[in-house]
Structure formats: structure tokens, C-alpha cells
Amino acid sequence: MLDLKLIRTEPDFIKEKLATRGVDPAEIDDLLALDEKRRSLIVKSETMKAQRNTVSDEISQLKRNKQDADDKITEMRQVSADIKEIDNDLDDLKTQVHDAAAHLPNIPDDSVPVGLTEDGSVELRRWGEKPNMDFTAKAHYEIGEDLGILDFEAGAKVSGSRYLYYLGLGARLERAVYNFFLDQNTEAGFKEVLPPYIVNDDSMYGTGQFPKFKEDVYQLRDEEMTLIPTAEVPLVNYYRDEVIPEEDLPVWFTALTPAFRSEAGSAGRDTRGLIRLHQFNKVEMVKFCKPENSWDELEHLTKHAEDLLQKLGLAYHVITLTTSDMSFTAAKTNDLEVWFPEQNTYREISSCSNTTDFQARRAHIQYRDDNGKLQYVHALNGSGLAVGRTVAAILENYQNADGSVTVPEVLVPYMGGVTKITK
């Protein structure tokens, strides 16, 4: 949520910055018109209430003096009725202003490349050597099916498209990956959390999924409850409507959870394999910090996600997304994209974002500064990492000519000593 005071005082700045995210400047004008109408009605209501209080005192005085007060009583009945009508209008306007503001994305940082498409993202750095294969690389889903460790047909039969079964060493590899991530994250100072997987509408609003992205999630029928699309939702909302003690900042959380996404609007994209599923595991990292530290925290968050890929020996690059390609809540997003040999391209495996005070305003998460004044924290989030995509990257990058897959060295202890997956 943007600061409404900032929108009022610097509307041209807001229009210019949000236009880079595809927001029509007319949306800002409409919001300001609603806000001005609401503020005018507040003044009118308060003026009439003051008048009513004054005349009520006059009526009391008249009655004490045994004088006729009927005209003033009749007048005040009408005033009271008018006040009630205005207050009802104010309630409606408050909802309209709130809804209009809730649909506006975060202000992009000046360092974010401007673009209305994903084209134009800036590469920050690359790491690792792409595997040099003297055979034709196979896609991860072909490798998994040939080895009998991934079963997409059974998943489709039981649940539908974009679901699967992990079998045998496939299931163990998935478990090895997320346990490795959790251990690395906790060693780095993140507090491990096991959060709820179903959250209420206030929580979805707090992290920016609602009201704009309801079509992208799965909700419980006849209940205002949603299966989480990411652990970011319950982790950020842990502090919703609370004041974090200053001495506790920064707070770092990590969690493994399933993520449930309807993938609305992605028909035809990555319909095979582990890249775009309706249900997948993800290890998430969330940070809360003071505003002056948030950009350093973003760099640290990005570097930590990179460290996970480096320890797995997977080649990747880091890019800064364009203004329109980053998430609704982000002021800046660094994406880590890992190399996929069969596709001969990099694919996203982690997004590390600084939401500045955007989520904190929506979720009302604050701290007291050195002067005892309440301030909004800055909240950051990043995948650490997407587990299924990591498994896919391992299968493709560590595949051998005979169809087997070598287990990355750091995962061997998590695989019970297994060094190679074979038929």
C-alpha cells in the first residue's frame, strides 16, 4: 500500500513512476478525486456535528428557562438525519478510496530498469561453467520418467494436469534439496518456521495478493480462507498489526511449505515438467528491517540465494527485473536464473525482492525508532530456493550419457550416501 499522503502531495511523481509499471495516470486522478470528496465530506460532517452540539446546548438552555425550543429541535432532527446520510456516504467513499489505493503497485526504485515487458532486464553477474556434454541433453521430465522417479501420468490421473508423483530416489532427492536449503539458511542466521498452509483474507491482503490477484489462488469453498501461494504470506503476516521491538530487528525467517497456484493466464506455458506446477515445494526467506538497512539486506539476501546454487554447482546469472516484470509489491527484484542445458537457456529459480514499506503498510507492521516514534519496517522476501525447479536443474545439469544422474556432492549425505541415480 502506498502512502496516501505522498500521493496527495506528489501526484506527478507517483504518476510518472507507476506509469513505468503500466498504471494509467487516470487511476491516480480518480483516486485523488475520491479522496478529495471524502475529505470534503469529513469537513462537512464535522462542521454539522459542531453545529448540532452548539444548538443542543441552546436547546438545553431554552428548556431550563422554560422557553419554546420546538423549532430548534425540529431543525436538529433534520441536521442529525443529514449527518447520518453523510456518514453513510463517507463509509462508502472510504471503501472506494481503500480499494483504489489497494490496486496500485509499489513505487519502483530508481535503480530498476524501465520497461513495460520483461525485455530490458539487466544482467548483474554470472557464475559457474555450463556443463559440456558430448551427447544430446534430455529434458528433466524425460530423465525423471526414464529413471522411474517422476510420474506425471499418475499425477494427472489423480489430480489433473500439472501435478505429479515423486517416486523412490526422486522423492528422496526432493527431500534432500529442501533439507539442504533449510540447513544452509538456519546456519546463515535465519530462524526456521513451520507456518500454517491456509490463511485468511486479511493475510492475503497484507502481502499484496488480494484484492488484485484472487484468480491466481485456490480458496476454500464458502470460507474466506486460501491455500498459500508462497510461505511469504504466513511469514510476513506473523507480525501483522504488531510493533516489532527495535532491538529485535532485523528479523530473518525461513520456511519450507507447499505452494498452491492456479497459474491463471499461463495456458500453454511450461505444461510439461516441474517448472510450472499447481502444487510445489518452496523454501522461502523473509526479512524485516529498518528502512535504512533494507537495500543492504536485499544484496545479502540475493548473495545468500546465490551461495545455495554455488554449493550445488549449478551455473546461473542474476538479473534485475524491469519495472513491469517485478512483483506487484516489489520496489526492486533480483532474479536468479539457473542454466537448463536441454532448453539452452536460463530459467528463474529465485526472486529476491525489497518491498520497502509497501507490505508493512498493508499489514500494519511497525517498530519504534530512537525517538519512540512509530515507523513502518521494510519487508523483503526471496526464494531460498524453489525446490522443484532445483530438482529439475540438477537432473538436467548432472545427467550422464547412460541416462543416470550424478548427485551433487553436497547432497550425498542427505541421500544416504547415494552418489548416482540409476534405473
Nearest to 15 by CA among 1, 37, 30: 30
The full length of the chain comes to 423
373: Cβ contacts below 8 Å, ≥ 6 apart = none
Nearest to 378 by CA among 293, 266, 314, 274: 293
**Separation CA 317–CA 122 (nearest Å):** 10
Cell of 270: 511450461
E strand or H helix at 145: helix 140-147
Instruction: Read off φ and ψ for residue 148, nearest 5 degrees.
Output: 75, 25
102 marked as part of a ligand binding site: no
226 marked as part of a ligand binding site: no
389 marked as part of a ligand binding site: no
Nearest to 303 by CA among 124, 117, 37: 124
121 marked as part of a ligand binding site: no
Cell of 123: 544482467
- CA-CA-CA-CA dihedral for 94, 100, 103, 108, to nearest 10: -100
Report the DSSP beta bridge partners of residue 255: 284
Crossing angle of helices 140-147/387-397, nearest 10°? 80
Nearest to 164 by CA among 146, 177, 152: 152
**Separation CA 30–CA 5 (nearest Å):** 15
284 marked as part of a ligand binding site: yes
348 marked as part of a ligand binding site: yes
Cell 526504485 sits at which residue?
A: 109
Cell of 355: 518491498
261 marked as part of a ligand binding site: yes
Which amino acid is located at 361 in the chain? Answer: R
Nearest to 378 by CA among 275, 203, 250, 272: 250
349 marked as part of a ligand binding site: yes
383 marked as part of a ligand binding site: yes
E strand or H helix at 341: none
21 marked as part of a ligand binding site: no
Cell 510450472 sits at which residue?
A: 276
**How far is Cα of residue 361 from the mean position of the Cα atoms in its chain?**
14
> Judging by beta carbons within 10 Å of its beta carbon (0-12, 13-18, 19+), is residue 170 exposed, middle or buried?
buried
Three-state DSSP class for residue 406 = strand
306 marked as part of a ligand binding site: no
| CA terminus-to-terminus distance, the chain | 52
Q: Residues comprising the binding site for L-serine?
A: 230-232, 284, 383
Q: Residues comprising the binding site?
A: 230-232, 261-263, 284, 348-351, 383
Q: Residues comprising the binding site for ATP?
A: 261-263, 348-351
